[in-house]
Amino acid sequence: MHAALLVIALAAADQTTSPHSREQADEQVERVRAALEKPSSKLMMPEVKPDFKVRIEERRPLQEIFDTPPWQLPPIGWRPPAIGFDLMSLVMKGARGVAEAKRGHDLHVARDEVQRAVAEYCAAQPNAGEIQMCWKP
């Protein structure tokens, strides 16, 4: 059935083509035939020997994970020689001491600022003696 439909479609397409387009197609076919009948080219290319090599390696996904056994530890980096005390711990203690000193200073400055603001507030109030925050100990 498909073959019959194909034959009918080709016959209908053949009838719809104009004689002008058929002549163009014939001219193209003749041009191709003439080109094929010409003798082959006299130009001969010498065979070039390659001066390089290509090596293709397949890389498996996650290969580097499975190359080392799971019980092998990573290599230990450079460590300073042991001379009886840990220099890093001294640096950390010094940094901690500086941080604590700065925090204490900041607390002192903040406390002074709050007391000054309360004193200004109380001085501006007409009934400062009745406000508990303004009482002097």
Return the domain boundaries, the chain.
87-134
- Calpha distance 30→25 (Å, rounded): 9
Q: Do 131 and 122 form a contact (C-beta atoms < 8 A)?
A: yes
Structure tokens, 94: 């010094």
Give the dihedral of Cα atoms 34, 38, 41, 42; nearest 10 deg.
-160
In this prediction, residue 113 carries a pLDDT of 95
Q: How many CB atoms lie within 10 A of CB 122?
A: 15
Tens of pLDDT along 6-27?
Answer: 556 666 666 555 666 788 888 9
When pLDDT is averaged across residues 44-64 and rounded to a whole number, the result is 83
- Calpha distance 30→85 (Å, rounded): 98
The answer to whether the predicted template modeling score (pTM) of the entire model surpasses 0.85 is no
Tens of pLDDT along 70-125?
Answer: 777 777 777 666 666 677 888 899 999 999 999 999 999 999 999 999 889 888 88
